[in-house]
Amino acid sequence: MAEQRRQFEQYRPQYQPQPQQQIQREPEQGVDNLNSIAKEMAARRLGLDSVEDLSELDFDHITAVVEAKQALINQRNSMMFRQQNINNLEAQLRSEEPKYDEIMANINTAMQNLPVSKFNTLKQAYNDGNPEPLREFFKEMQKDYYSKVIKKVENKKKPSVPVVEHSANTPITQSKRQNKIDFKQFGHMTTEQKAKILLERGFLD
């Protein structure tokens, strides 16, 4: 999901205290640094020439600094919440899907050709820390991945197997029974069921 993160980060909105002014800082700031940034924002909001013009005795100045500091704290908390949701989603999908890396490689390619509306929906979900649209998109690509794999297996010609003589007392091993696929039943299975069988039987590496 790192590639999608890079693409979405290009469009992540930054906190803007005033029109055409943008504060770009690292989200993790010490208390002193946070206060310094809040004072800079407050001074600009009040139209002061510098931070030195702020007065600790002026109610409007004090209010502007407090509000700017709270805005920075809210922004930091929002970013942390969003990132935690994205990290949790990535960890869950990786733990549940053995072909996670292969599917993500397909997603990286698909992202470049998505309709604008679809891309914007995913971008907004990422910016909001909303994992559900991202999860649904992963499921779509997951289904597409296994559908192609299954189609490839089904279309593959059955290799010729040399005839092996077995005596009446030589049982067929359990592994040979397990590696056979009943394609009559296979055709009625869901994509997930087919993928599971292919993984169990060694048709997928």
Q: What is the dihedral of CA 46, 48, 51, 55, to 10 degrees?
A: -70
Kindly tell me if the per-residue pLDDT of 6 is higher than 70: no
pLDDT for the residue numbered 9: 57
Higher-pLDDT residue of 37, 176: 37
Report pLDDT digits (tens) over 72-112. 888 888 888 888 999 999 999 999 999 999 999 999 888 88
- What SS3 class is residue 31? helix
pLDDT at position 101:
92
> Please, how many CA atoms are within 13 Å of residue 199, restricted to the half-sphere of its CB?
10
> 80 vs 27, 41, 62, 66, 131, CA distance in Å?
8, 22, 27, 21, 14
- pLDDT at 123 exceeding the cut of 70: yes
pLDDT one-digit tens code per residue, 17-62: 333 344 444 444 466 788 888 888 888 888 988 888 888 888 888 8
Q: What is the reported pTM? A: 0.54
The mean predicted confidence, pLDDT, of the chain is 76
Give rounded-to-5 percent helix, strand, coil for the chain: 65, 0, 35
3-state secondary structure 158-200: CCCCCCCCCCCCCCCCHHHHHHCCCHHHHCCCCHHHHHHHHHH
